[in-house]
Amino acid sequence: MSRRFPKGFLWGCATAAYQIEGAPAADGKGPSIWDRYAHTPGMMANGDTGDIACDHYHRFREDIALMQQLGMRAYRFSLSWARILPEGTGRINAAGLQFYSDLIDELLAHGIEPMVTLFHWDLPAALDDQGGWLNRGSADWFADYARVAFGAFDGRVKKWITINEPWVVSDGGYLRGTIAPGHRNRFEAPIASHNLMRAHGAAVKAYRETGRHEIGLAVNIEPKYATSATPEDMAAAHRASAYMNEQYLDPALLGRYPLPLREIFGPAWPDWPEADFDLIRQPLDFLGINYYTRAVVRHDAADDLLRAMPVRQPGALYTETNWEVFPQGLTDTLLWIRQRYGDIPLYITENGAAFPDPPAATHGQVHDPQRVDYLRTHLLALHEAIAKGVDVRGYMAWSFMDNLEWSLGYAKRFGLVHVNFETQARTPKDSARFYSQVIASHGECLGESPDTT
């Protein structure tokens, strides 16, 4: 069977500002909650911070040249809100806008299409001082910031993403405290989620005033399978999916929350004004899907949020972040999205894996056979969904290069390109070369023998 992808399919890779840029105070940038969090003792693995990261702020031209060499057609990156609006609202920092303007021009000059995420977790600290995503005003702050970005870049940028993974912001940032701003509060999590979704809606609405291209939302979908067909286990899987997946897609696309959330949050679940859903549910041009893994769950009365417990799968391969490698979950996810939400155009906006790579050898090679295999099997799974008629228009590998894996620091490497964080040397791994071949052959080479070295 031919593995050729549809004509015009967009091949690219992705990053996020705080994970790669460094230069946290350069040229008038304001602090973000990630600057604060990373400098709070005990929060980050190995005491790592994003202060230097991949130094992409100073090396973006070199990085873009490498992307071009690898054959990338698109690059998904995020804007640092606090570079553009140091206090989050009001005063615009011209130098911050200029940085992104130069980056976009450089991409276009190299024939690479920019895909811009407005918010990939680095909220300006000044807005956190006002409650951050707990403040209902956050939807207006975000729409105002989005208008500045649209005004400066729409036209050169034709694909916009409002928010990256609202679930991670709410669950990690407000419920479990594993990422910035590090709160642990069940009552806050649904409020943060709701305001993130209102902010998404407000930005899309703002885009319709002047925008001439496409805008969407990026969610991380993790399909939940039950360990058995007993009603208890099936209900546990249902709750886990409602919490992680439908909590965001249902309001954005159906204008309501899934019913299990009321049961999950109990007294912490607020009643929302009906009008909020008119704001949240905006027509979208596409949906971005970030897919990494699945979870198999069983009923567990001791778990006081979901009453569900993930079960490790014997014999399965797990990545360094302890995520099961399960390519079939990508096909299942894409089919499920079409079945539940209809035929909305999709992009895979993230997909990738951390494995322990060998250090870059002096002869300039990094052999990462597990990542090559991860990519191959997931691209085949994606192809299968496309062959079944799902409208997927592009694939952005996570990540272009090794970077700061949030509170896990630099030790977890997701890059196609190896970064030596002492010298900042970039070395394309075998996975980068493999992906180049996939791009050059439009997927055709996926049908060939797995040996790529």
> What letters, b where the CB count within 10 A reaches 16 and e where it falls short, cover 322-357?
ebbbbbebbbbbbebbbeebeebebbbbbbbbbbeb
Residue choice 10, 13, 16, 161 for contact with ligand BGC (CB under 6 A): 16
What's 157's DSSP letter?
B
DSSP codes of every residue in 36-84: HHHTSTTSSGGG--SSSTT-HHHHHHHHHHHHHHHT-SEEEEE--HHHH
User: What are the distances in angstroms from CA 145 to CA 121, 205, 259?
Assistant: 14, 13, 33
Q: 188, 214, 222, 350: which one is catalytic? A: 350
Q: Which residues pair with 392 in a beta bridge?
A: 346
Q: For residue 314, what are its two tokens?
A: 């014997």
Q: At what angle do helices 369-387 and 430-440 cross, to 10 degrees?
A: 30
Q: 113, 165, 246, 405: which one is catalytic? A: 165
Residue 282 vs 290, nearer CB to ligand BGC: 290
Angle at 410 between CA 216 and CA 423, to 5 degrees: 110
Residue 322 vs 328, nearer CB to ligand BGC: 322
| Least distance (Å) between residue 151 CB and ligand BGC | 26
| Least distance (Å) between residue 235 CB and ligand BGC | 27
Question: Applying CB under 6 A, what is the total number of residues that bind ligand BGC?
Answer: 11
| Least distance (Å) between residue 292 CB and ligand BGC | 6
Residue 16 vs 416, nearer CB to ligand BGC: 16
Site for ligand BGC in 380-399 (CB under 6 A): 398
Site for ligand BGC in 62-91 (CB under 6 A): none
Contacts of 262 (CB under 8 A, 6+ apart): 269
Q: Do residues 219 and 120 touch, judged by C-beta distance below 8 A?
A: no
Residue 220 vs 427, nearer CB to ligand BGC: 220
| Least distance (Å) between residue 236 CB and ligand BGC | 23
Contact string (CB under 6 A) for ligand BGC, positions 404-433, x = contact: -x--------x-------------------
| Least distance (Å) between residue 350 CB and ligand BGC | 6
Residue choice 80, 138, 195, 220 for contact with ligand BGC (CB under 6 A): 220
Q: Can 214 be counted among the known catalytic residues?
A: no
Contact string (CB under 6 A) for ligand BGC, positions 275-294, x = contact: ---------------x----
Residue choice 350, 357, 402, 430 for contact with ligand BGC (CB under 6 A): 350
| Least distance (Å) between residue 389 CB and ligand BGC | 27
Q: For residue 173, what are its two tokens?
A: 């940032």
SS (H, E, C) 261-299: HHHHHHHHCCCCCHHHHHHHCCCCCEEEEECCCCEEEEE
Q: Which residues pair with 257 in a beta bridge?
A: none
Residue with the CB atom nearest ligand BGC in the bound state: 16
Residue 106 vs 350, nearer CB to ligand BGC: 350
| Least distance (Å) between residue 402 CB and ligand BGC | 11
Strands 113-119 and 224-226: what pairing?
unpaired
Rounded Cα gap, residues 52 and 421, in angstroms: 9
Site for ligand BGC in 155-214 (CB under 6 A): 164-165, 168
> What letters, b where the CB count within 10 A reaches 16 and e where it falls short, cover 131-140?
ebbbbeebbe
Q: 134 phi and psi, to 5 degrees?
A: -85, -15
Q: Which amino acid is it at 372?
A: V
Nearest-CA neighbor of 320 among 369, 357, 354? 354
113 binding ligand BGC? (CB under 6 A): no
Q: Which residues pair with 214 in a beta bridge?
A: 159
| Least distance (Å) between residue 218 CB and ligand BGC | 8
Q: Can 350 be counted among the known catalytic residues?
A: yes
Residue 103 vs 219, nearer CB to ligand BGC: 219
Residue 169 vs 445, nearer CB to ligand BGC: 169
Residues interacting with ligand BGC, by CB under 6 A? 16, 19, 164-165, 168, 220, 290, 350, 398, 405, 414
Residues tagged active-site: 165, 350
